[in-house]
Amino acid sequence: MSDSAAGASAKPSALLEAVELTKRFGALVANDHVSLAIRAGETHALLGENGAGKSTLVKMMCGLLQPDSGELLYDDAPIMFPDPATSRAKGVGVVFQHFALFDALTVVENVALGLAGHEPLSALAERIRDCTVRYGLAVEPYRRVGELSVGERQRVEIVRCLLGDPRVLILDEPTSVLTPDESENLFRTVDLLTDEGRAVLFISHKLDEVRRLCHRATVLRGGKFIAEVDPKVETSSSLARLMVGAEVPRTPREVTHELGTPRLLIKDLNLVGDGSRGSALHDINLEIRAGEIVGIAGVAGNGQTALFEALSGERPASDPESIVIDTVPAGGLGPTQRRALKAGFVPEERLGHAAAPDMRLSDNVLLTTHGDGEIVRAGVVRHSVLNARFAEIVKRFDVRFGGKDPKARRLSGGNLQKFVIGREVLREPVLLVVDQPTWGVDAAAAGFIRTTLRQKAAEGCAILVISQDLDELLEFTDRIAVMCEGHLTAPVPVGETSREAIGLAMGGSQGGDAGTGGAHGH
Amino acid sequence: MAIRLERQETVPPLGLIAAPLLALLFTLVVGAVMFVLLGHDPLRAFTIYFIEPLTDPWTLQELVVKACPLLLIGIGLSFCYRANRWNIGAEGQYVVGALFGSWLALATHGTDAGPWVLPAMLVLACIGGALWGLIPAFLRVRFGCSEILTSLMLVYVAQLGLDYLVRGPWKDPAGFNFPQSVTFDAVAVVPLLMEEGRMHAGILIALVAVAAATFVLGRTLIGYSIELGGSAPRAAAFAGFDERRVTYGVFAVSGALAGLAGIIEVAGPIGQMQPSISPGYGFTAIIAAMLGRLHPVGVLVASFVLALTYIGGEAAQISMRMPFDVTRVFQGTLLISILAADVLVRYRIRRVEGASHA
Ligand SMILES: Nc1ncnc2c1ncn2[C@@H]1O[C@H](COP(=O)(O)OP(=O)(O)OP(=O)(O)O)[C@@H](O)[C@H]1O
Ligand SMILES: [Mg+2]
């Protein structure tokens, strides 16, 4: 169907066009005379490394940021959007990379805030449920947003945007926290929209999906326009080369190494859903040994957040023996005590959970390192040591930003992700629990993060990775378990399972157990 | 048509410094209008209010006397406000601190007690203020009550308690039935710094508090946990800082400093217990904390600015027969304009046309 759309309109008119947009943040030029035309009936990809300026461009195209120079054309006429409300009213819908939802409100209340009309909430809730059916993006209208995981919030944002009935739909990395099935549903929706003559701008670091879905691609590098290409004739590696300006190394498949003693033992872990935050966990059992990476797949909102918080110590378990870190019963310990056992944690939500948005990056280093004894002595922060660590994270993990030490909020999504991963890895943990390790990082950086984690495993670290990205889990974990409705299946070695078996288990069928059975049969 | 506030993507750093200055300027403009409406020459009024106090050694000392409690309380409030805990009841903690300290002064009255009395009074005052501050903290942690309401309401409880004591059990039997206690003994009085004037050693304690608070807030893990808890509560929990402990901690510090300010005032310039021991220091200190950007050194500067409005107000009362309420108006205007200036720096104002349907 996408072929017909592209073929029928050889020279479709531009709905929304950016002409020579420039945006500076202090000395940093985030967008340098960037032009881009989103055409009716087309899906246009915007590609570039972390910090290339993609989100900045999007923000200017909807009025969240004002360009320093250049102009916007809407239906070929110059236009100025003073704010996103105006552009939304004119039919430009945006799903931002960092969500703009109010935690204290329910899904339907959040959606109502974004719409201008005065529709009764019950009617709106009905429409949201319709969306669930029509677009295959499950959203429960009366849940409080604060309880939702990142993947669920992403679905809410997309549904909210679609309900506004936009002519131009801009999606800033929508698929990085969706499962393959959800992404598939989203692609179908996007195809439907373009078939109706609407226009879509699509940002993603997953080049395979870009090549499948998009009719045109604009590549940015260092804030500059590099090329406009046809992604269907490019290969993933030629696109990556355009983005990076150099050859991108593949993640090396790891060499096998001996597994050591169990670093993490979860035994009959149960958590009661406390209503306001997180769901319940039922009889979770898992063992991770030094040197291995275990992945947890599953649709967001099936208890992954609760599991993460139970492991990090934010939600202590009632039975101390239910979580054992390096032979120490840790179920009743708080986060700092668990870190003292050389455990490290990276939550999925970067802004507000992994990092304090309005504090400087160097101060955010302290967030997880304050118990390590080196940076804080006798309760006093040693700023020279802290700054040295900060510089090391930035250097080793190639965190790029404008200025010397900006607030965490000012970093591009992928760069902040590299920062929070680097912060944990440099603590030299023996157990690492990572939720969504490569959310929003570009292909090169994602490869780097995976390689680093593999390397850590080879050095004897036990790693638990929670991810909605099944391909990622298949690529670099040793065993995969599936989380569904608070239950965890027994992990299966990657070589002995398949996308299909895992997909079935994610849906909650007995397929997961069948997969386990298969493993035993081997 | 509606007006909407939108968060600015980039906050100009200059704006953060300029905001309090702009607020001051705006307050002066409002003041000028007020003087004209009251039928006074605004220039003369400003001279009496803000210039003359600075030219006279005696009022300069008074400035220090007035700034001292504002500074002590304001520093404590900075701890609370940084942690996003809104202690509005410093006035009550001030009173209870004064009561605890005075109890010892009255209990040792006429007993030839040694020089340990004053230090012990200071310690008792800290304990009293902290205990009073811990009540709203407890109610918040345990029951989720808004600390804004509970701390404020406890002010009235404390004031009525003070009133009862000085009109009842603590009344000086030889005091012609005036609601006052006996005058404190010499060992229970904060020493003066100079022979002439009323400037007392309390300001030295306040300056020590500035230094200590600067260090704790800027250099220690405790300061970091307060800041983080206020800025991103979920990240603070992830970092392993217990929200409840931070709440108790900041209320205890803030209550203790307010209590200390209370006893220093009573055992210093006042010298005895009486029904009114504060011209609203506990509330004015809120303005000092905000105007000083919750930084101890900023609060130091802001305390003197606000002390000036007190002194100027007294002078204008005497020489221009202006009601003392004018001072309150000044202080209130200042607080509102600081808060408004902050909003204007951080947010953009947008006019939204009504009925903008998608
Ligand atoms: N408000 C801001 N103030 C200062 N610098 C900013 C601001 N917003 C973005 N930047 C900087 O501008 C550059 C481009 O950021 P942008 O968010 O557009 O990148 P991106 O291409 O979306 O990256 P990612 O793939 O990581 O999301 C980055 O270096 C970032 O640090
Ligand atoms: Mg981005």
Is B98 a domain residue?
A: yes
Euclidean distance between CA atoms A364 and B228, whole angstroms: 9
Determine the pLDDT at residue B12: 67
Residue from A349, A352, A356, A350 nearest A370 by CA? A356
∠ CA A217-A218-A223, rounded to 5°: 155
pLDDT band at A383 (very low <50, low <70, confident <90, very high): very high
A364 contacts: CB under 8 Å, gap ≥ 6:
A355, A356, A408, A419, A423
pLDDT band at A508 (very low <50, low <70, confident <90, very high): low
Phi, psi of A465 (to 5 degrees): -115, 125
Q: Kindly state whether A451 is in contact with chain B, defined as any CB-CB distance less than 8 angstroms.
A: no
Does position B329 have pLDDT exceeding 90, yes or no? no
pLDDT band at A1 (very low <50, low <70, confident <90, very high): very low
Does position B351 have pLDDT exceeding 80, yes or no? no
Is B43 a domain residue?
A: no
Over range A188-206, report the average pLDDT. 90
Over range B10-25, report the average pLDDT. 75
Q: In chain A, positions 350-409, which contact chain B (CB-CB < 8 Å)?
A: 352-359, 363, 366-368, 370-371, 376, 379-381, 383
Higher pLDDT, A146 or B218: B218
A230 contacts: CB under 8 Å, gap ≥ 6:
A215, A216, A217
Is B87 a domain residue?
A: yes
Min Cα distance B6 → chain A (Å) is: 9
The model's pLDDT over A210-242, given as tens digits with 9 standing for 90+, comes to 999 999 999 999 899 999 999 988 887 788 888
Q: In sequence order, what are the beta bridge partners of A74?
A: A16, A77
Answer yes or no: do A89 and B352 touch at CB < 8 A: no
Q: Kindly state whether B237 is in contact with chain A, defined as any CB-CB distance less than 8 angstroms.
A: yes
Lowest-pLDDT choice from A30-34, A138-142, B257-261:
A138-142
Taking CA atoms, what residue in B is nearest to A24? B10
CATH code, B288: 1.10.3470.10
Mutate to test the interface with B, among A369, A380, A420 (most CBs of B within 10 A): A380
**Domains, chain A, with CATH or none:** 3-244 (3.40.50.300), 259-342+428-522 (3.40.50.300), 352-427 (no CATH)
Determine the pLDDT at residue B291: 87
The model's pLDDT over B135-190, given as tens digits with 9 standing for 90+, comes to 999 999 999 999 999 999 999 999 999 999 999 999 998 888 889 999 999 999 99
Domain with B265, as residue range(s), is 62-307
- ipTM reported for the complex surpasses 0.90: no
A383 contacts: CB under 8 Å, gap ≥ 6:
B219
Does position B18 have pLDDT exceeding 90, yes or no? no
Over range B61-87, report the average pLDDT. 96
Residue from B108, B62, B94 nearest B284 by CA? B94
Is B257 a domain residue?
A: yes
Determine the pLDDT at residue A40: 92
Euclidean distance between CA atoms B145 and A375, whole angstroms: 37
> Cα torsion at B281, B330, B337, B253 (round to 10°)?
-10
A255 contacts: CB under 8 Å, gap ≥ 6:
A458
Euclidean distance between CA atoms A37 and A331, whole angstroms: 54
The model's pLDDT over A417-433, given as tens digits with 9 standing for 90+, comes to 999 999 999 999 999 99
Measured CA to CA in angstroms, residue B47 lies from A114, A377, B329 at distances of 53, 52, 18
Which ligand has an atom closest to residue A417 CA? 1
Euclidean distance between CA atoms B257 and B197, whole angstroms: 25
Distance A176 CA to ligand 2 centre (A): 12
How distant is the alpha carbon of residue A399 from its chain centre? 17
> For every residue of A89-131, which 3-state class applies, written as one string?
HCCEEEECCCCCCCCCCEHHHHHHHHCCCCCCHHHHHHHHHHH
Is B334 a domain residue?
A: no
* Residue whose CA is at the smallest distance from ligand 1 atom 8: A410
Residue whose CB lies within 8 A of the most ligand 1 atoms, among A55, A95, A421, for a mutation test: A55
B231 contacts: CB under 8 Å, gap ≥ 6:
A356, A357, A358, A359, B84
Answer yes or no: do B232 and A358 touch at CB < 8 A: yes
Does position B341 have pLDDT exceeding 80, yes or no? yes
∠ CA B299-B300-B303, rounded to 5°: 80
Does position A250 have pLDDT exceeding 70, yes or no? no
The model's pLDDT over B308-324, given as tens digits with 9 standing for 90+, comes to 988 988 888 888 888 88
Does position B209 have pLDDT exceeding 60, yes or no? yes
Binding pocket residue ranges, ligand 1, CB within 6 Å: A 25, 28, 30, 48, 50-56, 97, 400-402, 410-415, 440, 442; B 9-10
Is B184 a domain residue?
A: yes
Min Cα distance B189 → chain A (Å) is: 36
Does position B354 have pLDDT exceeding 80, yes or no? no
Q: By three-state DSSP, how is residue B190 classified? A: coil
How distant is the alpha carbon of residue B213 from its chain centre? 15
Neighbours of ion ligand 2 (CB under 5 A): A 55, 97, 412-413
pLDDT band at A247 (very low <50, low <70, confident <90, very high): low
Lowest-pLDDT choice from A511-515, B279-283, B287-291:
A511-515
Is B318 a domain residue?
A: no
Which ligand has an atom closest to residue A52 CA? 1
Over range A155-168, report the average pLDDT. 88
Mutate to test the interface with B, among A346, A359, A407 (most CBs of B within 10 A): A359
The model's pLDDT over A435-483, given as tens digits with 9 standing for 90+, comes to 999 888 888 888 889 989 999 999 999 999 999 888 888 888 999 999 9
Which ligand has an atom closest to residue B9 CA? 1
Does position B249 have pLDDT exceeding 70, yes or no? yes
Q: What is the mean pLDDT of chain B?
A: 90
All residues of chain A having their beta carbon less than 8 Å from the beta carbon of residue B220 are 379-381
Euclidean distance between CA atoms B122 and B100, whole angstroms: 9
Determine the pLDDT at residue A240: 81
Task: Count the domains in chain B.
Answer: 1
Q: Kindly state whether B235 is in contact with chain A, defined as any CB-CB distance less than 8 angstroms.
A: yes
> Cα torsion at A85, A87, A90, A91 (round to 10°)?
-100
Query: In one letter, which amino acid is B165?
Result: L
Q: What is the DSSP letter of B35?
A: H
- Position of tokens 């006052």? B180
Is B329 a domain residue?
A: no
